Amino acid sequence: MPDSPVTSPVSAGSGRLTVSLHQAGPIPLAANFACERGELLALVGPSGSGKTTLLRAIAGLYRPAEGHIDCAGETWLDTAHGVVRRPQKRRVGVVFQDYALFPHLCARDNVKVALGHLDPSRRNACADEWLCRMRLEGLAGRYPSQLSGGQRQRVALARALAREPRALLLDEPFSAVDQVTRRRLQRELALLREQIHIPILLVTHDLDEAVALADRICVLHGGRTLQCDVPESLFRHPASAEVARLLDRHNIFEGRVVTVEGQRRLAWGPWHLQVDHGLEALEPGQRVAWYLPDSDVVLHRRGRPSRGERENPVTGCIGELVVLGGMTSLTLVFNHGPDTLRFDIATHAARRNGLARGEWVQVSLLAAGIHLLPHTPDH
């Protein structure tokens, strides 16, 4: 990248962003999370879960009833002490899903809007350099109507970063572009993170996008923070059945703790399942909800059933078989009740095994993958 008058988008004092916001209404909030310097935290949850409201509160565009927001050692909001820093004083970059560009301004002038902190003589060069960083060379004089969706989003990102923000907020930034452009912009964001070392919050409805881009994921529902964790831990060890369902996980069941030959086991239907962690702390007869990632469901090859105790072999009938390109989704039903088990296998493996709806198959429910959940009656 050529030398330019652009200063780094990160000041020496940049640090973590901490958010704690609470109110009963009109938009309920009970959100608590932190985003470290250089970290990308994805906020996920269904529509109406408060994700955009949280971003607006951080940016100073919405004032919650109670809360505290701190970024890089600066207090942006502290309702208990009457501190409310104006949006212009928060040094936060925001990129909206609809770009929010000024239609009457060219790309260069849209970026210059964010350069009020620079001497007027430097703003054109600085704006051009930010456009160059976003691979928009030669497009500085074009208006938003003359740019593609991906180009407009790059202009919006250039404008957000030109403010030299202490935090970057991305509200569904790729939802308005086609799939090919979306993947390209995701890749560019991943590369951009190597150059900027500030907290980045990404609101997205796309779980695959969250997993691909985020260091951690924060699950929200009804304005409440339910769980924040790295993607692998979140998907393998959800804090509750509610979190599992919000993450589109399906294998959530209920069983009972039993003792078999002096060892705790999880009774589920006719089977006594071995569980690697958690059963020893529970009392026999206790009801317990449990979850199994579909990656820990292993289909047995025909004529080669498993005999491993820790593999928990069970038998079910294929109730649904859906081919989705290279992967096939299987749903097993059982004689002992309405429970269904869903998992994916490679389509070539499904064909090799001659799988079809109505056939009985054996699978293993790996003991290491069974995760015990807090019990609630609605499971």
Tokens of 263: 């060892």
**Residue 232 dihedral angles phi and psi, to the nearest 5°:** -60, -45
Pairing of strands 313-324, 297-299: unpaired
Share of the chain above pLDDT 90, in %: 69
Whether cis (ω within 30° of 0) applies to the bond prior to 9 is no
Instruction: Say what the pLDDT of residue 308 is.
Output: 53
- Do 17-246 and 252-373 have matching folds? no
Out of 2.130.10.30, 3.40.1790.10, 3.40.50.970, 2.40.50.100, select the CATH number for domain 252-373. 2.40.50.100
Quote the pLDDT of residue 6.
39
Where are the chain's structural domains?
17-246, 252-373
Per DSSP bridges, beta strands 313-324 and 360-365 are antiparallel
- Strand duo 216-221 + 40-44: pairing: parallel
Task: Tell me what pLDDT residue 378 has.
Answer: 47
Q: Residue 146 in contact with residue 106, Cβ under 8 Å?
A: no
CATH of range 17-246; options 3.90.1170.40, 2.160.10.10, 3.40.50.1100, 3.40.50.300: 3.40.50.300
Report the distance separating Cα 7 and Cα 162, nearest Å.
9
Residues of the chain with confidence (pLDDT) below 70 = 1-14, 302-310, 375-379
Neighbour tally for 338: CB within 10 Å = 6
What is the spatial order of strands in the sheet that 263-268 belongs to?
271-273, 263-268, 252-260, 287-291, 371-373
Q: 213, 161, 215: which is closest to 36 by C-alpha?
A: 215
318: helix, strand or coil? strand
The pLDDT value given to residue 47:
86
Q: Token pair for residue 366?
A: 């790996």
From its phi and psi, is residue 76 left (phi > 0), alpha (psi between -120 and 50) or beta?
Answer: alpha
Among positive and negative, which fits the CA dihedral 139, 143, 147, 149? positive
Q: Report the DSSP beta bridge partners of residue 331.
A: 320, 342
pLDDT digits (tens, 9 = 90+) for 287-314: 999 999 999 999 987 666 555 546 899 9
Q: pTM value? A: 0.87
CB 274 within 8 A of CB 265: yes
What pLDDT is recorded for position 20? 97
- What number of other Cβ atoms are within 10 A of residue 100's Cβ? 14
